[in-house]
Chains A and B, each alone.
Chain A
Amino acid sequence: MSIAIEADNLVKSYITRLKSGFLRRKKRVLEALKGVSFTVNYGEIFGLLGPNGAGKTTTIKILATLLLPDGGRARVAGYDVVNEAEKVRDSIGVTLTVEKGFFWKLTGRENLKYFGMLRGLSGSRLDERVDYLLEMLELKRLGASDRFYEEYSLGMKARLCLARALLTDPPILMLDEPTLGLDPPSAREIRNLLTSLADEGKAVLVTTHNMFEAELICDRIAIIDDGRIIATGRVEDLKRRVSNRIAVKIFVSNPNFGDLARLEGIVGKVGFGVDDTGRAYIRFTCEPGSEDRVIADIIKFLGETNIRVFRVDVEEPTLEDVFISLTGRTGES
């Protein structure tokens, strides 16, 4: 498997000026990246996962040659991002924020043609490619191809943004939060598309703060926090590394929290929550192999205290559990 993107110890600080008077400004140095390294191979989806402000967009911008690093090196498609920037740009497709970045008074098709021309496409090859992408990203089906961009919904904007990244059919894609703000079916469609692009052999670098999404599509991920990569690897490996326990979730009715607290005597630390449908649940982890006995004990206990059990889910630890244990912060929102 050959390497598409190689980031080696990237360092970047922004100099910001805080306003402290009408004209006076205080200088402040903000370390956005403190040594970021990872590699992305052709044919895989690589997720850069981290909370807001972690440095995901900064990393993408450096790899896309829109931003110069202060230190470290990076190669994309075999070219150096600083010294061979034009060749790097020729090999990549990029999306930054998906909700803007087009001309309002041009149609989706006109916009794509404009950006295609900037990338060196022209004539019937350009027309055909634009038409193909409008079709592939369902903008035709949505009747949006020849409507002004200003009339686009967020979902259409995201599709157009992805279409632009694919104009030159580049071998490497760098997508900054490509599904941000999309409804579940649209997000799923985009994820399926990314999977098939990777299957074609393209390298796909996506950033996201959505653990669920990263788990779904990424072959490998790097978790970035406060400008540092704190873990890299396949999702299953990461999960195994931080947690060798099994998570159990029991949905209950008419919970009596005084009684439930006594559960901790049986299984240790117990979490309570309510899911999106309004159903209450208790959640705890236990040693693999012991789950059958523990669940039986708990159901017996619940029966004695008149609490009804609806459903029992036995779950693998999620990426969120991994993130919490790595950063020491809860992902609770």
Chain B
Amino acid sequence: MVNWTHILRAQIFSIKCWYKNNRWMLISTFVWPYLMVGTLFGVGLTLGSIDEYARKVGVANPALYLLASSVVAMSSIYIMYSITGFILQNRWIGTLPYIFLSPVKAHTIMIFSGLPDAVLSPALTTTAILPAAIYFEGVTGAWRILIILLIIILGMLPLMGLSVIIASLLLILKEESNVMGSIIPFMLLVSGVYYPLEVLPRILQLISRAVPTTYVIEATKIVSTYLIPEARLLMTALYMIGLLTLGYNLMAASAIAKLDRIIKYRGAL
């Protein structure tokens, strides 16, 4: 019987073909983190000095931190992009019904079709910033980046269920716009990527505690400063990610089964 491994393998195959047939995509993947950080630096320098920023955010090397945290923040949410994007894109080109003809449950298809892209994208980006990390900090820099990649992937897990719910709603509402465009900036805002959480209003600080990206960023800060006494804080952050994974996906599980039915009832395929 067909299971999730088949879906995963098919998706990896299609991504492989896609990059093979579209080499420019691969190149742009390596370039964008630098463009983004360059812009951020430019804007930042007009507002204050690097030292001041480093002191406020509390990291030793602001260049590496900014580079890493931008990538981290975007990447850990990328699973939401890749799952909803998968659904929307395949509906546009008419492949969606044929994908859902695979003899597995609809949400299995959604999760495992979005996963390879969600993991691959940060992996490529991480590879892209590796030279910068080595330039600034040598081999330790490289190790830190790899650990951060692992944290990013962990950070995706809590968002899996949520992504499937959003993707299902897009199908049911026959909505063509990708709502991720407005959800993602909000999540970045409350997760303290570009400035300390303390400057946020009280209510947003509370919300930020429930957003997984917050802990991913926290863990990233710790790893990028790499102080031994803070190892315990790192464990706390990872523990919170684990907890949110469990909580979010349990909540999503019951909704997903219902959404499967509504999708097929509404004629959304």
What is the CA–CA distance of A122 and B5 in the complex, to the nearest angstrom? 11
**Chain A residues whose CB sits within 8 angstroms of the CB of B94 once the complex forms:** 96-97, 100-101
Interface: B265 (CB within 8 A):
yes
Interface: B30 (CB within 8 A):
no
Are A113 and B18 in contact, with the CB atoms below 8 A? Answer: no
**Interface-central residue, B13, B98, B100, B104, by most chain A CB under 10 Å:** B98
Are A103 and B93 in contact, with the CB atoms below 8 A? Answer: yes
A90-B1, A97-B94, A113-B13 given as contacts; is B99 within 8 A of A118 (CB)? yes
Please encode chain A, from 109 to 139, with 1 for each CB lying within 8 Å of some chain B CB and 0 for all others.
Answer: 0100111011110100000000000000000
Are A114 and B13 in contact, with the CB atoms below 8 A? Answer: yes
**Chain A residues whose CB sits within 8 angstroms of the CB of B95 once the complex forms:** 101-103
B262 → A minimal CB distance (Å): 9
Are B264 and A67 in contact, with the CB atoms below 8 A? Answer: yes
Q: Which of A14, A64, A107, A117 contacts B10 (CB 8 A)?
A: A117
Are B103 and A148 in contact, with the CB atoms below 8 A? Answer: no
Interface: B97 (CB within 8 A):
yes
- Chain B interface residue count, CB cutoff 8 Å, equals 30
**Interface-central residue, A14, A87, A114, by most chain B CB under 10 Å:** A114
What is the CA–CA distance of A244 and B157 in the complex, to the nearest angstrom? 70
Are A103 and B97 in contact, with the CB atoms below 8 A? Answer: no
What is the CA–CA distance of A306 and B243 in the complex, to the nearest angstrom? 96
A90-B1, A97-B94, A105-B18 given as contacts; is B102 within 8 A of A118 (CB)? yes
A64-B101, A103-B93, A115-B98 given as contacts; is B2 within 8 A of A120 (CB)? yes
Q: Which of A14, A66, A104, A113 contacts B100 (CB 8 A)?
A: A66
**Interface-central residue, A58, A97, A120, by most chain B CB under 10 Å:** A120
Please encode chain B, from 9 to 28, with 1 for each CB lying within 8 Å of some chain A CB and 0 for all others.
Answer: 11001100110011000000
What is the CA–CA distance of A106 and B17 in the complex, to the nearest angstrom? 7
What is the CA–CA distance of A132 and B87 in the complex, to the nearest angstrom? 31
Mark out the residues of chain A between 77 and 107 whose CB falls within 8 Å of any chain B CB in the assembled complex.
Answer: 86-87, 89-90, 92, 94, 96-97, 100-107
Residues of B within 8 A of A (CB): 1-2, 6-7, 9-10, 13-14, 17-18, 21-22, 93-95, 97-105, 261, 264-267, 269
Can you spell out 30 A-B residue pairs with CB atoms less than 8 angstroms apart?
Answer: A15-B266, A58-B267, A61-B267, A64-B101, A65-B101, A66-B101, A66-B264, A67-B264, A67-B267, A68-B264, A86-B103, A86-B105, A87-B103, A89-B101, A90-B1, A100-B94, A101-B95, A103-B18, A105-B18, A105-B21, A106-B21, A107-B17, A107-B21, A115-B10, A115-B98, A117-B9, A118-B6, A118-B101, A119-B2, A119-B103
